Structure 1
Amino acid sequence: MSGEFRTAVGFRLGCVGGRAALNHGGRWVDLAELTGDAGLVDVNVALSRVDTVRRAWLECDRRDDLPVVTGAVSACVPEPRQVFAVGLNYREHAVEAGLPAPVAPMVFTKFPSCITAPGSTVRLSGPKVDWEVELVVVIGAGGRDLKPADAWDAVAALTVGQDVSDREVQLRDTPPQFSLGKSFAGYGPLAPVAVGLDAFADVDDVGLWCSVDGELRQQGRTGDLFFSVPELVASLSAVCELLPGDLIFTGTPAGVGAASGQYLTSGSVLVSGADEIGEFEIGFA
């Protein structure tokens, strides 16, 4: 895993050894042990009770006897029930793709079995596998028929991930197979932490980036989105009930490999990062 994760105002929630944990001061603190609530061992349950997580985060500052947990660090949300993704949602990406601005969010799904941990080595599915760094919305309270003005209340945290894409599978047919081309094993890597919203200076303008083999390939800000996070939450919740732990991959900025005809190869190392969240890396074989 690459990069440093600094403590910010917002909580930093992850999953270690199969248990929900707070990354505080460089240590993983067992959330269920800290609170005395056995139900909070599950990350999705914790996300449904975000006020409790915030209080637990503040408690970490007041205690010296923190219950540290050890074990394998998973994706921050290792078992989401629903994973939504949005295509062509950055203005500069639409320009590089030579496509007109969308009139509504272009939504597909990444099947949950593609989610993988930071530091993983992912097996390439073909010769045209591409990178797409994305800010990922982590649903908390969720709900149906949410209005844009109320959307952030339904969100627990933000994280960063990659919408790894097999372009041959995605685009080989008409209509295209977005969901299948983006759901091979390991094609949904996530950072180790989901970060509470109050860590961000402006939740509507978060910077993100990625590099391939040490070369910066993508850099953008969510202020460039066609459809903001509140608009996406409202649009999705008008159709599907959003549940605690659900993920929304919000789109990728300019700089994908397909734009230049360059793709991931065996041995490639992909580093993804975002403001306040930090960086993580995955490798390919």
Structure 2
Amino acid sequence: MKLVRYGPAGREKPGIIDAEGKIRDLSRIVPDIDGAMLADGGLAKIKKANINRLKVVPGKPRLGACIGHVRNFIAIGLNYSDHAAEAGMPIPKEPIIFNKAPTSICGPNDNTVIPKESTKMDYEVELGIVIGKRARYLDKGKAMSAVAGYFVSNDVSERSFQIDRSGGQWNKGKGCETFGPIGPWFVTKDEIKDPQNLDMWLDVNGERRQTGNTKTMIFGVEHLVWYCSQFFVMEPGDIIVTGTPPGVALGMKPEPKFLQAGDVVTLGIEGLGEQKQKLVELKK
């Protein structure tokens, strides 16, 4: 199933993509696409519903974040061998974990707002994971049972905040408002046969910047979910973004090509849909 949230920011409704690519309104089946729905067995309710009898949503409404009310936005750094090489950094022995502020989350096609004092705006196409049930000290071989599905993420980053002003941590370069577009869809895991073999790409103003595949992840989906559960409890609706392939602006030679106001970033992952964001100046 491909689940969506559509409508004005803050007033999104739940929906599902039908066989013809149209949005059908799920409001009669579940109140929202979020952790509470997952914890309450919402996916089973949706699966039992006769989708063709649900109302078709007219036009092309705004798409919101594909998961609502995210409590814990977990991110993994340097998780692609080829990206670690372009960054000139050793392959991590264990996953590098940081958090993005949940307030950074926005719709997949919303504008990216350039924060105050920004000088080095960057992009990162990433595979996202939706946690579907409480995950605490999972057994290694059972971690996938906690996965509900997947989505496309752009881990928008401000490198001067992250690196030049980090003080040893990345959060303030990763958590600014609109730095967490997720979607367009939350795709349930039954539709993705192998999350470790998905093509991914990102363009800036039509120029291909990133081309990769999840098979070059250092730590795969199963390992990441298991590993995170050894350090903190994850609840339904929590999300993990899993790292990016090479081609980020920071790693470009001879000079980085950071994003500027007016730039348009498009990105996608096989089977999970596409995103599009325009960079805009912060309104005072």
1:88 aligns with 2:43: no
Does 1:159 find its partner at 2:162? no
> How many residues are paired up?
268
Counterpart residue number, 1:175: 167
Aligned to 2:112: 122
Q: 1:48 aligns with which of 39, 60, 64?
A: 39
Shift of 1:76: 0.3
- The DSSP-based 3-state class of the residue aligned with 1:45 is helix
**Other-structure match for 1:67:** 55
Deviations 1:208-234 (A, max 9, x none): 111111011111111111111111111
Shift of 1:49: 4.9
Check conservation: 2:152, 2:184, Cα contact below 8 A.
no
Distance change (3 Å), C-alpha of 1:278 and 1:116? same
Q: Mean alpha-carbon deviation: is it higher for 12-21 or for 89-98?
A: 12-21
* 1:1-285 aligned within 5 A: 11-17=1-7, 18-24=12-18, 25-33=20-28, 35=29, 40-49=31-40, 52-54=42-44, 56-57=46-47, 59-60=49-50, 63=52, 65-69=53-57, 72-125=62-115, 126-173=118-165, 175-260=167-252, 261-285=256-280
Once residues 69 and 242 of structure 1 are traced to their aligned partners in structure 2, the CA distance between those partners, rounded to angstroms, is 33
How big is the shift at 1:176? 2.9
Deviation at 1:255, TM superposition (A): 0.5
- Counterpart CA distance in 1 for 2:27 and 2:163 is 45
Q: CA RMSD in A?
A: 1.8
Instruction: Tell me the distance in 1 between the aligned counterparts of 2:247 and 2:166.
Output: 25
Q: CA–CA distance in 2 between the matches of 1:213 and 1:148? A: 42
**What TM-score does the superposition give when structure 1 sets the normalisation length?**
0.88
Q: Tell me if structure 2 keeps the 8 A contact 1:78–1:116.
A: no
1:174 Cα deviation after fit: 5.8
Distance 1:278 1:203 in 2: 14
Hey, what's the Cα distance between the residues in 1 that align with 2:278 and 2:112? 6
SS of 1:220 mapped into structure 2: strand
Do the aligned partners of 1:49 and 1:140 also contact (CA within 8 Å) in 2? no
Q: In 2 relative to 1, CA 174–212 (structure 1 residues): closer, same or farther, beyond 3 Å?
A: closer
Measure, in 1, the Cα distance between the counterparts of 2:165 and 2:147: 35
Question: SS of 1:151's equivalent?
Answer: helix
The whole-number CA distance in structure 1 between the counterparts of 2:112 and 2:96 is 26
User: Shift of the alpha carbon at 1:258?
Assistant: 0.4
Percentage of matched positions with identical amino acids:
33
Q: Could you report, residue by residue, the CA deviation over 1:174-229 in whole angstroms, capped at 9, with x for unpaired residues?
A: 63331110111101111221101121231222221111110111111111111111
| CA distance in structure 1 between the partners assigned to 2:62 and 2:152 by the alignment | 19
Q: 1:113 to 1:266 in 2, by over 3 A?
A: same
Distance 1:248 1:161 in 2: 10
Deviations 1:117-176 (A, max 9, x none): 122112212121111110000111132011231111101110011111100010124633
Deviations 1:223-281 (A, max 9, x none): 11111111111111112111111110100101100011111111111111001111110
SS in 2 for 1:41: coil
